[in-house]
Amino acid sequence: MGNQLSDNKGIETPSGKNIKTENFPVASYLIAKALRKPIVAFYQFARAGDDIADNPQLSAEEKIKRLDFFEKLLYNPDYSGAGPAAANFGSVIRQFKIDPTHAVNLLTAFRQDAVKSRYQNWEELINYCNHSAAPVGRFLLDLHQENRVNYIFSDALCNALQLINHLQDCQDDYVTLDRVYLPLDMVSKFQFDLHDLSKKVSPPAFLKLLHSYLDKVEELLDIAKRLPGGLKNRRLALESAVIIELACAITQLLRRQDVLKSHVKLSKSASMVLAGKAVVSYGIKLILLQMKI
């Protein structure tokens, strides 16, 4: 069957992407050391599932079969041949008594990726993000035993990050997988031809669409800015403040640089400066709050 395996061996299909290649920090040193292990395990589980969904050499049926097997691992640690990421997170779930719901929601999104390549409107795209991105923030909040009232703010942040990633990868997604996360009603409104996603320079229609898309992303980031102040865990609050700062910066970068010409990404030095700025800024806010100024 070539790359389409009929057994459980080699079920994962690593793409080479990992924590170091992500645009935003995952389990950084701002997070308590004791909680980094389950966060990394959750990330690796999500990364492995996403790699399966994005593998152009697998059929939709094979992708879903493998993702279904991933879900079994969440409830039964005795399956063999699952691959290190899936098996490890299954163990972490039991060790830390983690609700598997968030991981299941991610798998729902990955299965959708296997069969769906177009989104009619923004609402449909956000519904996808509510499964593909929002569960990550909810997992972090639950792991830190935060009030679930903050879900609305973490959902906004995680969905914004997902939408930013979609824009950064729009050309590769189209060329490699014929997958487009640009809402088709926006595509129609700005009279953009999807075939132009394969070009090396953005046409005017795409730039208009891009700015409209980023306007909506910034609306989500404005909601997300309420997240750090609502968290009890100061380490998690600082981590979220850093991520928001980076997301706002890369959104502006996407407005200025041509995403079809080259991959738009913050440099490591710029990211470090922005992270430092966020930590200092939020730290000052905490001091002022404690002084009740």
Q: Which of 169, 181, 174 is nearest to 262 (CA)?
A: 169
Task: Give 154-212 as a DSSP string.
Answer: HHHHHHHHHHHHHHHTHHHHHHHH----S-HHHHHHTT--GGGGGSSS--HHHHHHHHH
Domain assignment present for 3: no
Instruction: Give the Cα separation of 202 and 210 in Å (integer).
Output: 10
Are the C-beta atoms of 175 and 197 separated by less than 8 Å? yes
Helix or strand run (H / E) with residue 64: helix 60-75
Residue 81: predicted pLDDT? 55
Which residue among 88, 115, 142 closes a domain?
A: 115
Which residue among 84, 115, 146 closes a domain?
A: 115
Per-residue pLDDT of the chain (293 residues; tens, 9 = 90+): 334 444 445 788 888 887 777 777 787 878 999 999 899 999 999 999 999 999 999 999 999 999 998 888 787 766 655 567 777 887 788 888 888 899 999 999 999 999 999 999 999 999 999 999 999 999 999 999 999 999 999 999 999 999 999 999 999 999 999 999 999 999 999 999 999 999 999 999 999 999 999 999 999 999 999 999 999 999 999 999 999 999 999 999 999 999 999 988 888 888 888 888 888 777 666 655 554 54
Same domain assignment for residues 224 and 259 = yes
Give the chain's length. 293
- pTM equals 0.89
Same domain assignment for residues 279 and 160 = yes
Tokens of 207: 């730039």
Tokens of 41: 């395990």
Which domain does 101 fall in, by range?
A: 13-115
Supply the DSSP symbol for 3: T
Which residue among 53, 85, 115 closes a domain?
A: 115
Indicate the residue type of 69. F
- Our CA angle for 190, 196, 199, nearest 5°, is 135
Please tell me the number of Cα atoms within 13 Å of 183 on its side-chain side: 21
End-to-end CA distance of the chain: 68
Same domain assignment for residues 265 and 159 = yes
Domain assignment present for 125: yes
Distances in whole angstroms, Cα of residue 261 to Cα of each of 118, 199, 200: 23, 8, 5
Same domain assignment for residues 80 and 21 = yes
Total number of domains in the chain: 2
Angle, helices 204-224 vs 151-168, to 10°: value is: 160
Are the C-beta atoms of 107 and 51 separated by less than 8 Å? no
Same domain assignment for residues 46 and 129 = no
Same domain assignment for residues 75 and 195 = no
Question: To which residue do tokens 């989500």 refer?
Answer: 220
The burial class, CB within 10 Å (0-12 / 13-18 / 19+), for 7 is exposed
